[in-house]
Structure 1
């Protein structure tokens, strides 16, 4: 990019989770001339995997595709626990020297773009007070949900309950639930993880769901990946395992979309084989929606079903009437006695980590914007958002997005452009950003950007298609406009972290 000054960052990354660390690695290796820094609101690396501490916290994507494309996952667990993933991300940052560029306990409050100087002015609150930085490009890697709180429905009588109520997003590490009667509200991945994790120590765990989800048992070890690691060099074994799992996931997704009834029958048949003919599988495990209209829940080695078979856990499908002193009264009249209630009721989505963003003095309203290649927003210059797949591992899309950003930065540097901005055609046809029926998605849709119905404005949930178009597609495609600043570059703040030099 033209007009560089020594005291302005080339790239400012918001967030030091799996997306931010991955982006920083790609910048180091694909755009090494770019100076960057990372602002992290928390005190540690890890993002999601540092925030969530509830029992059994783990990935619901296999680690051969959830891991970075540049750093093999060698732990062996297919669905790794939270501490292992946090360690993987932290080790990646340490080994690459990325941790030197992170400012911890620094929460971004606002980002202001000025086209005349082609600069972002970012204001944050750090441990020692206000921080102001300037950067040419903003990479938002703060995730897609609100860290401060999860979604909590309004249940009647909550104040009457005599026990504890703990949302998984606020789980106090080391909390003792031994011998307690636990009720977990929800049927998503968090609930399916909590049930077997808590069944051993608690008196009993009840999963209370309003409606069922698709749950499938998967081996906790990948026999083919284990064999490949014994026969081949580590990186080659990882790459082949990754390709295999990407292919299988895409095949199963397409199969689910093409023949949903066939897939549904297969899933229910497998659950019946796990739980036996006497278990009411149709009531508790037959969702009203088609496979992959919401994410599948995975049970490593069938641990969820094992907990049900052991009698240490049970599942109830019903609606909540109200909370009472001793537990939850259902609409059927039944009372579920409880000492601890865990509302695994979902997330609250937000765009940009909740920061206040404006472009040339105009406040950004995400719902008025259109996504460009699933990584930029219409009319927002020199900014990208790390947003992963809904039907595959998050990191697959993050790696591709980071590669595309590096290509953009190198292209602007080489051609003398100061910034780029996606500009949609006037006759663009719009559609919702996501087609998932999950509650957290449906609640957020009115506040999210939209997408177009044709490339490059359509956000494809297809890794192979994205790999071709994002990794190899033309940068100057007629939709992304490259421009030069109208005036001088302006002055940067003296509070720029010197580690970025």
Structure 2
């Protein structure tokens, strides 16, 4: 094949936090490289534009969910979706990124061809037109869940005549004033929706099969707001970010090492809001904190709604959906005009793109993670799967920075292929990719890439360690092979065939 120009050096999939972050890092650190962002939806923002349910907000602080290069300027560090979208809009406009975004472009497939060191990418536009782009690198910032369909627990709604809504597809202008609402689920989405609907609804019931550990904290970070008054904005942001990263790390490790101490601390916070004699049974899970992600309750909003009698938490199993409500197995009847199934997401890998190499399908579940960023024996492909025990953006930042380092190195050495080479007889000991019991994690583990016990063939959950390694470890580590296509393609192909 003729050595013709590539459409783009990097094709970024997704205009959410991960994709915008990569574009911003490239603008600063790899400015000599061309890129485009393709976004399947008509707006940027990803999660923060897709979800429209009442109260939609971050479940971690914006000093760590925000990027390392752009200070969070709002007073509230637990931010609603409009504020997060405003933050992202400012970044894409101030850095000239918007002109590189192609909206209503859904990636269908991507085939790697060694002969020209390019991904040949098939896209579909909003009008149903098929297009082809080529790129030297494919950077996947498509998130971690299926945008087309949420998890379906298989409920039979039987005689129920009211509205049934999943938060992922919230109807516009839903009128729930004076109505009884049952929210099924006890995760971050349910904990956000319940207090947000409580003001207008007659009553909102959170129906949980199993309790979740709740963590109450102010929506405003007093220290952050004080530092912004006395220090330059960037300095104040960096200090707050460092503080919050350390606190996340300390809290997670304490939960693993001294779970009872953390349980007592979480319960103490709830009793401070609800009273010393409050029955903590609905907030006492059968597992330790951080075996699933903690649910954030900013400004005690859920507890305040319960105290006002506008919300309640019920633990039980559903027997049937009946006319006018939900019947539990203990025969409790919960009146409902609206049922909201906040039952979780369906995990998706690589944006459900059909990946292939020389026409042969690539099943990432058969490949090992490399530095939580690339995949064994797959060339010029990077992806972002954020931390479960910390903010998503922390991984997005270090992965973007790392790939920018590789791009700069390739340009300096005249190479255009980067592949983490793993021999077929590697002898790696596999590890559980996620030491978390959350339903959506357990349901999706079979489609996730492999995880080894030893670094670098794993997706770590330790940001501080990962950041140092990704920033300072040499790129040429004896694993990542950098070469020029064509000249020694036969040698490399033989090497990869031996490794697979």
- With normalisation by structure 1, the TM-score equals 0.94
Q: Distance in 1 between matches of 2:274 and 2:223?
A: 27
- 2:144, 2:348 within 8 Å by CA — same for their partners in 1? yes
Instruction: State the match for 1:464 in structure 2.
Output: 464
| Aligned twin of 1:492 | none
Tell me, in whole angstroms, the C-alpha distance in 2 between the residues paired with 1:159 and 1:118.
55
Shift of 1:127: 3.5
**Is 1:116–1:487's contact at 8 Å kept on the other side of the alignment?**
no
Greater mean alpha carbon deviation, residues 451-460 or residues 41-50: 451-460
Corresponding residue pairs, total: 485
CA distance in structure 1 between the partners assigned to 2:296 and 2:33 by the alignment: 40
Aligned counterparts of 1:253 and 1:177: Cα–Cα separation in 2: 38
Match of 2:451 in 1: 451
The higher relative CO (CA closer than 8 Å, separation ≥ 6) is in 1
Task: Name the CA distance, whole Å, in 2 between partners of 1:86 and 1:204.
Answer: 30
The aligned residue for residue 81 of structure 1 is 80
Matches within 5 A, 1:333-348: 333-348=331-346
Q: CA deviation at 1:236?
A: 0.6
CA pair 384-7 structure 1, distance change in 2 beyond 3 A? closer
Q: Which residue of 1 aligns with 2:325?
A: 327
Give me the whole-angstrom Cα distance separating, in 2, the residues matched to 1:363 and 1:7. 22
TM-score (norm 2): 0.95
Equivalent residues of 1:149, 1:170 under 8 A apart:
no
CA–CA separation in structure 2 for the residues paired with 1:488 and 1:102:
35
The 5 A counterparts of 1:370-389 are: 370-389=368-387
Partner of 1:397: 395
CA-based RMSD: 1.5
Q: CA–CA distance in 1 between the matches of 2:3 and 2:225?
A: 48
Question: What secondary structure sits across from 2:119 in the alignment?
Answer: strand
Matches within 5 A, 1:258-337: 258-281=257-280, 283-337=281-335
Q: Measure the CA separation in 1 of the matches of 2:338 and 2:215.
A: 27
1:294-341 deviation line (CA, Å, top 9, x unaligned): 111111111111011110001100111121121111010111110000
C-alpha distance in 2, partners of 1:159/1:287?
A: 30
Matched, 1:237 2:236: yes
Please give the secondary structure, in 2, of the residue aligned with 1:37.
Answer: strand
| Distance of 1:110 and 1:65 partners within structure 2 | 33
- Contact persistence 1:183–1:205 (CA under 8 A): yes
Is the 8 Å Cα contact of residues 388 and 394 (structure 1) preserved in structure 2? yes
Measured against aligned partners, the alpha-carbon deviations of 1:68-100 in whole angstroms (never above 9, x if no partner) come to 111100011111001111111111111111000
Q: Quote how far apart the aligned CAs of 1:5 are.
A: 5.0
Alpha-carbon distance change, 203 to 309 in structure 1, aligned in 2, over 3 angstroms = same
Equivalent positions of 1:146-161 (< 5 A) are 146-156=146-156, 158-161=157-160
The structural deviation recorded for 1:180 is 0.9
SS at match of 1:430: coil
Query: Any unmatched runs of 5+ in structure 1?
Result: 490-501
**Alignment deviations for residues 12-66 of structure 1 (CA, whole Å, 9 cap, x no partner):** 0000011111100101110001000010000011011000000000000101111
Q: What is the CA–CA distance in structure 2 between the aligned matches of 1:127 and 1:189, rounded to whole Å?
A: 31
SS for the counterpart of 2:74 is coil
Deviation string 1:94-122 (CA, Å, 9 cap, x unpaired) is 11110001110011000000112211000
Q: Quote how far apart the aligned CAs of 1:258 are.
A: 0.8
Q: Does the 8 Å contact 2:179/2:337 carry over to 1?
A: yes
Q: Distance in 1 between matches of 2:58 and 2:136?
A: 34
Cα offset, 1:488, TM superposition? 12
Residues 273 and 38 of structure 1: is their aligned pair in 2 closer, same or farther, counting only changes over 3 Å?
Answer: same
Structure 1 residue 464: Cα displacement? 1.1
1:61 aligns with 60
Q: Aligned runs of 1:417-456 on 2, under 5 Å? A: 417-425=415-423, 426-456=426-456
Q: In structure 2, how many angstroms separate the alpha carbons of the residues matched to 1:288 and 1:265?
A: 14
For residues 136-215 of structure 1, the aligned pairs below 5 Å read: 136-156=136-156, 158-215=157-214
What pairs with 1:352-363 in structure 2 (closer than 5 Å)? Answer: 352-363=350-361
